[in-house]
Amino acid sequence: MATCNLENALDTLKTIVGTRGWLSFEDAQKYFIDPRDRIQGYAPLVLMPQSTLHVSEILRICNSTKLGIVPFGGGTGGVCGHIATREQPSVVLSLERMNSIRSLDIINNSMTVEAGCILKAVQEAARINDRRFGLSLASEGSCQIGGNLASNAGGIQVLRYGNTRDLCLGIEAVMPDGSILNDLQTVRKNNTGYDLRHLLIGSEGTLGVITAAALKLLPLPKESISAMVSVRSPDSAVELLHLLGDRLGGTLSAFELMSYLGMKLALQYFPVQRDPFSKPYSWYIIMDIEGRKGIRLEVENCLAKAFESGLVLDSVIGQSEAQRNQLWQLRELAYEYNKLAGAFCSSDTAVPIDQINTFITRVTRDILCINSELRINTYGHIGDGNIHINVFPPEHVDKADFLKTHPHIQKNTYECVNQATQLCGGSISAEHGIGRMKTDDLLAYGDPTKLSLMRAIKQAIDPNGIMNPGAVL
């Protein structure tokens, strides 16, 4: 776009949102930082509209001037989909000022919220009404519902409640030409043609801006229990998952794997954390069981039997809310301690549950074949087959120095993970999406027919390519 046209368009956009509704690049650094330093962001303007009508006007201007637009939620996305770059001239559209809860219906078990609502605020609003919103992520204090929907976030409770997609009844979105899609239904059944809600969910801001959503709620469980157990191998973890799934009748809501290295890093980088066991183990599981009153006894009996049979090596059940939180901190700090330990590969793989052990064994072997001194932290949402592989330089070696002296190691490590994923019939992106970091992987591993249909859909909905240019496709 010619410079004077761009200046005119930016001035018009500023007028739409008013003086408090925009920031220039210099004043808006938080929108351009990738915590893992993978890309450098830039946009001349960050817009913070306050209403769906503002979003509609913004998109109409961007579409007519062919100016790109990058939707920004809480900025916690794992694949840089929210970071605008210089290569694709764009403005950033942050939903942070559209954060009201429009309604909550206890009888209908539904809640309608604006896209900029922080996930924790949504959970809390449900909880004080004796309801549960079944999405839980370590980033829940910062990420927004719009971002959760746009990335179809997973998290720790997919096992029981499904992905964000499964928790959404209806959607309001602004399409690239500025038209407003009003599909904010709260009905459970609606077979009236193509389900555009599901097209927008997981589209990572490449098809439109989600401005509000109707969410599904459930009754709040009467009793919640957190336990941590140690097991011999990922195979034992899968056996335990199967056993508890059968015995506890669908009350298992989280089942997360941690490795010995994960526990070690948690204690090393966060010394206030405590190992709940008196000695180290190779693998740990942290789980939540939620259900009717009295379920604690069933859990204790199940774990005691698993201990007697040798499946579980040790176990601890949180006796208070504070103890439950302490156990979960060890797992939820993973993003931080992996970063502090210098992870240069962080995968987001999903495999069928029966392939979990094969995947972990294969990928560990192949990575150590590249360099036997690499350290690997394998962890994740094992209850739904989502494994994160984090790889670090050898102990006491600085990440930057290591990558300089081993220029191909990062690419080779990711290739090991992707190939093992393919062989196990898995997905190269379980819950983070494609964003700007996995576009090449999507081309390499995506089904060609799916890719060409995706391009056709993008062309039909966003012919000027203004929505999140450079992301996904």
Contact of 264 with 282, CB cutoff 8 Å: no
Determine, following the binding rule CB under 6 A, whether residue 115 of this chain makes contact with ligand FAD. Answer: yes
| Type of residue at 135 | L
Q: Which of 19, 49, 71 is nearest to 467 (CA)?
A: 71
The residue whose two tokens read 């190992």 is 275
User: Which residue of this chain has its Cβ atom nearest to ligand FAD in the complex?
Assistant: 147
Name the residue nearer to ligand FAD (CB basis): 146 or 426: 146
Diameter over CA atoms, the chain: 76
What is the nearest approach in angstroms of ligand FAD to the Cβ of residue 151?
4
Name the residue nearer to ligand FAD (CB basis): 244 or 437: 437
Structure tokens at 430: 């379980």
Q: Which of 67, 138, 231, 295 binds ligand FAD (CB under 6 A)?
A: 138
Name the residue nearer to ligand FAD (CB basis): 121 or 302: 121
Determine, following the binding rule CB under 6 A, whether residue 342 of this chain makes contact with ligand FAD. Answer: no
Q: Report how many residues bind ligand FAD under the rule CB under 6 A.
A: 36
What is the nearest approach in angstroms of ligand FAD to the Cβ of residue 214?
15
* Stretch of 151-159, 227-235, 291-299, 396-404 contacting ligand FAD, by CB under 6 A: 151-159
Determine, following the binding rule CB under 6 A, whether residue 151 of this chain makes contact with ligand FAD. Answer: yes
What is the nearest approach in angstroms of ligand FAD to the Cβ of residue 137?
4
Residue 29, φ and ψ in degrees, nearest 5:
-60, -30
Q: Which of 43, 45, 58, 137 binds ligand FAD (CB under 6 A)?
A: 137
Determine, following the binding rule CB under 6 A, whether residue 139 of this chain makes contact with ligand FAD. Answer: yes
Determine, following the binding rule CB under 6 A, whether residue 328 of this chain makes contact with ligand FAD. Answer: no
Determine, following the binding rule CB under 6 A, whether residue 210 of this chain makes contact with ligand FAD. Answer: yes
Residue 233, φ and ψ in degrees, nearest 5:
-155, 165
What is the nearest approach in angstroms of ligand FAD to the Cβ of residue 249?
25
Pairwise CA distance, residues 85 & 78, whole Å: 16
Contact of 31 with 96, CB cutoff 8 Å: no
For the beta carbon of residue 462, count every other beta carbon within 10 angstroms: 21
Q: Which of 73, 115, 67 is nearest to 91 (CA)?
A: 67
DSSP 443: H
* Stretch of 17-25, 69-77, 223-231, 355-363 contacting ligand FAD, by CB under 6 A: 69-77
* Stretch of 5-13, 150-158, 232-240, 450-458 contacting ligand FAD, by CB under 6 A: 150-158
- Which distant-in-sequence residues (6+ apart) come within 8 Å of 362 by Cβ? 420, 423, 424
* Stretch of 131-139, 264-272, 358-366, 408-416 contacting ligand FAD, by CB under 6 A: 131-139
Q: Which of 181, 442, 225 is nearest to 319 (CA)?
A: 225
Determine, following the binding rule CB under 6 A, whether residue 68 of this chain makes contact with ligand FAD. Answer: no
For the beta carbon of residue 192, count every other beta carbon within 10 angstroms: 8
Pairwise CA distance, residues 468 & 473, whole Å: 10
Chain positions contacting ligand FAD, by CB under 6 A = 70-78, 81-82, 95, 115, 137-139, 143-144, 146-148, 150-151, 153-155, 204-205, 209-210, 335, 431-432, 435, 468, 471
